[in-house]
Structure 1
């Protein structure tokens, strides 16, 4: 290894000024390290990384207890991030999309830190609501082979109320199984003994941008669970309501709290950008004007307007290129020029000139009246009745298509299911998810403990692990000290009687904040 490579590794192993919490992330190396991303309003940039609070506290607190019972080695950390929604909820004022990106970046940095410090440790990822959005983006990249860590280092992952859920997606996206797949290289004994998941899969989809929808997780499929309760708008939004997605996309890019002038400016910019993209697409793709004449005008939508707004408002959407914008403006300009020329030909005739001249000598106002009358008549004749009838019918079809595309917004039966959306969004610790009556959070807690036990069965004899010699070290049976030097003896001759995971023996009840 060159000196430059050594320096690079040294720099990446330490925390950046924006992520000081990374230095406190890893104290010892368990068999399984869980990285958790809380929901909107449940975290902050300086939130403690070991406090079991919020929705995910109902997962990781019990998971630590279950790990102790199994004698498996498990640790966890919560990613600090704004958890904001533009100031609409208590917490940061950052737009939702900015907050999600910061959460995903912190999750990526934490995953790299853990596998760098602990070569034998596997990772588990859990996320709730906005945190599930960030975790989903991270997991999708890992499953596609473009993520920050290798896919075989992810043992398990669970998302609750994820805005990235695909319409009608099963609990294990991309898999037909109703039980999780075991981690690569693990013993599989404990995970295979878990009960099946019987929670229904709602027909709706996540309310997040279309570009973030996760239909599967590539090579991680089967190891990622996505729990969604019927009526939870975050993950079960109406399938036939693209205008709702467009509104959510715009809202996710704005700041609505604090300074009202800044809020108006932020909303205006988001709407202007979206409207411009939609206008360019409609002119270029949906409106045909053969020979640049209004007489030949035709409207044939390839997509509904609401669908175009949903796509254009996606934060990942590319704005129209200069060439596309110029093409739209050119089409409009040529139509306008041809219309003016057509009107002029009918107005500026020898007969009109003679009438204006005669009237203008004695009554200038009458001369202007002659021109106005001729112009009005020419404009009316500009679009023949047959063309007008066709365009009116096409415009009616556009409106009818909009109603059909957004039919769930007009369906009282569909809307009724969202009457208790807050209860659905915050109820993952109570709704039954297995035939045995376990909740979704309880199932994931048992899954994490089981995965840690299975990974521990194989890593206990590996070069980076230590077999427990003390009967009191039940939660640290395969926990090894954090690797700080290349010296092998320092890794294999020391076993800590307890790990940071044992400090979370009690789990505070979460203060569920309504998530937008």
Structure 2
């Protein structure tokens, strides 16, 4: 995406409230009773879903299909039943709030996303503890995708609560952690998912080819959360971003916008304006303090701490520093950093004061003040003032003044250039339908056949479950006496879909099918559903 208009800065907070979250690591004590009803069977693949803003809550049911992710879970269960695959799913509850700016709670995004990531970790550990042989898949949308992305990145880099080998797949929709210009499978040039390790990958490889254009922008979340790849999970984690979805397609050249969103994400409202003012004040104070320390230490040069030698040599723009400092995950300045900044400013001021004393309080000046006498203090003050004004050119010589003016103009120019996308009126049209684009993942085409991203992911997860169910030890060879060829058949496994009201257990071709209800017809076996050839199985 090329950019967006000036009005976008004013509406960034409201837009972000609808779309995405800001990460954080503040400790949150969440209720965990929902974990008791999480696992009611051990499928080959267990899918954990993280809903978007306002679509979840701390007490949201874990087995009810609602929100954007219901467009994945329902079709996935249907497709898994068709394939005879063993799969289950659950939604991980968390606040899903934006500091009271959206319905659903007053908790800030910092706390909300943090709790979501923590609950997802608990859910993953719970599933694997009860079903050690199961594999996990994680899907997330909007704010939920932020939490899911952080979880998947930690797993892929080896710092997560579960091993990377336990995760079969991940799918993110409109995630604010998307790295600018990132491909569909971050860290790779792939347009199709990799097979689950340890499987033949036949079912995954048979999926429809993907034709989905990714935008140039990046996620609107904190810089520290932007993810270029998912380590050892690369190729098995997809990141879907529709052009114009500001959550994942924010302008690359507008760091001041990111700073605004970061600060807004730390606000707690709760219906109390004083709480809102207090939390905004804390966020702004922390951001300003961190930025000031960095600017003094890194951008202001003063050889020998002399005022006349001061120059501005910015390594980063101020807006970039604000964006980084406003990140709730940012490391605050150390005591050494603060001391260095204060010492630099203090020494510059002290040297300037010493210069004034040396140049003003000379014997001649003291004599002139004495001549005026205490009878006329105003005249004596005038003498000192005149002497001080005469010293100013020595404190800040004309050459230094001209240099500082030029550098100040350069700082302003750098700020405009760094935030040029925030002033691009022509490109404003690309984000005029932010809400529509953010909610389009169940309707825009992602394959040549017109499958939406959500439907493709549903097919992908069902295929991954089918591949996981293809246990090589369950394959047997049967010779066909009428020919010289040998065909391979497979003993079928039950299609485990716990959420459905009735379930059919498919039998092997030599046995009659047994149904668990009186009304449901026998479910066809894998071989009866179109047949599986020896070439496909091998």
* TM-score higher than 0.5: yes
Does structure 1 residue 296 correspond to structure 2 residue 309? yes
Match of 2:430 in 1: 417
1:359 deviation in Å?
2.1
- Give the unaligned 5+ runs of structure 1: 1-15, 479-494, 499-516
- Number of residue pairs matched by the alignment: 464
Match of 1:440 in 2: 453
Q: How does 1:152-191 map to 2 (within 5 A)?
A: 152-191=165-204
Partners of 2:504 and 2:515 within 8 A in 1: no
TM-score w.r.t. the length of structure 2 is 0.82
- Equivalent position to 1:426, from 439, 458, 473: 439
TM-score w.r.t. the length of structure 1 is 0.86
1:84 deviation in Å?
1.2
- Write the deviation string for residues 48-94 of structure 1: whole angstroms up to 9, x where unpaired: 00111011111111111222222222211000101111111111211
What SS does the corresponding residue of 1:85 show, helix, strand or coil? coil
Match of 2:112 in 1: 99
Q: How does 1:255-334 map to 2 (within 5 A)?
A: 255-334=268-347
Quickly say closer, same or farther: Cα 1:373–1:425, change in 2 above 3 A.
Answer: same
Partners of 1:294 and 1:339 within 8 A in 2: yes
- Equivalent position to 1:68, from 71, 78, 81: 81
1:476 deviation in Å?
5.9
For residues 180 and 44 of structure 1, the distance between their equivalents in structure 2, rounded to whole angstroms, comes to 31
Q: How does 1:343-492 map to 2 (within 5 A)?
A: 343-458=356-471, 461=474, 467-468=493-494
Quickly say closer, same or farther: Cα 1:476–1:254, change in 2 above 3 A.
Answer: farther
1:146 deviation in Å?
1.8
For residues 280 and 504 of structure 2, the distance between their equivalents in structure 1, rounded to whole angstroms, comes to 51
For residues 467 and 502 of structure 2, the distance between their equivalents in structure 1, rounded to whole angstroms, comes to 18
Partners of 1:73 and 1:475 within 8 A in 2: no
Partners of 1:185 and 1:458 within 8 A in 2: no
RMSD: 2.3
For residues 42 and 235 of structure 2, the distance between their equivalents in structure 1, rounded to whole angstroms, comes to 25
For residues 65 and 341 of structure 1, the distance between their equivalents in structure 2, rounded to whole angstroms, comes to 82
Quickly say closer, same or farther: Cα 1:74–1:460, change in 2 above 3 A.
Answer: farther
Partners of 2:49 and 2:90 within 8 A in 1: yes
What SS does the corresponding residue of 1:310 show, helix, strand or coil? helix
Quickly say closer, same or farther: Cα 1:460–1:262, change in 2 above 3 A.
Answer: farther
Match of 1:197 in 2: 210
What SS does the corresponding residue of 1:190 show, helix, strand or coil? helix
Does structure 1 residue 139 correspond to structure 2 residue 152? yes
1:273 deviation in Å?
0.7
Deviates more, 1:47-56 or 1:345-354: 345-354
For residues 468 and 391 of structure 1, the distance between their equivalents in structure 2, rounded to whole angstroms, comes to 76
Quickly say closer, same or farther: Cα 1:235–1:22, change in 2 above 3 A.
Answer: same
Partners of 1:460 and 1:467 within 8 A in 2: no
For residues 460 and 61 of structure 1, the distance between their equivalents in structure 2, rounded to whole angstroms, comes to 30
Match of 2:162 in 1: 149
1:473 deviation in Å?
8.1
For residues 59 and 245 of structure 2, the distance between their equivalents in structure 1, rounded to whole angstroms, comes to 29
Does structure 1 residue 108 correspond to structure 2 residue 134? no
Match of 1:513 in 2: none
For residues 212 and 316 of structure 1, the distance between their equivalents in structure 2, rounded to whole angstroms, comes to 9
1:475 deviation in Å?
6.5
